[in-house]
Copies of this chain bind each other. A is one copy, B any other.
Amino acid sequence: MSRVRRTKQREAILNTILSAEGPLAVGQIHERASDELPGLGIATVYRALNLLLEEGKVVVVSLPGEERRYEAAGIGHHHHFRCSGCGGVFDLEVCPVGVPRGTRLPGGYTVEEHHLTLYGRCPACARG
């Protein structure tokens, strides 16, 4: 008996996420996947995202003060850049944080993880 079916909606949604320059918000996913599949319902996007999360194919990315975004799972430790011009969020490869796991900070705080967001201008917005 089959359980989960393969549909063009889910395919379009996953493709959108996999080909993105960084994590996307639900509205962005809906917009972009709708280009490929006009008429796509927003509820379908939410359902597909929850399924992809359960399957471990996608992870949630939260930036401070912003709505949830979604990006492909398995791209390892990385951080994000938020452009103050276009509002876009991009994956970065650099990790300029000098606090490895296990570091004990003054005050007695033991660091297990960190979350960094860089803000500034992306190349396209740099001249504007």
Contacts and interface: CB of A to CB of B under 8 A. Distances in A.
B111 A114 contact: no
B121 A112 contact: yes
Interface in A77-99: 81, 83-84, 90, 92-94, 96-99
Interface string A58-90: 001011110010000000000001011000001
A118 interface: yes
A112 B105 contact: no
Given A99-B118, A114-B118, A65 B68 contact: yes
Contacts of A118: 99, 105, 109, 111, 113-115
A123 B96 contact: no
Contacts of A114: 116-119
A84 B90 CA distance: 27
A56 interface: no
Contacts of A62: 64-65
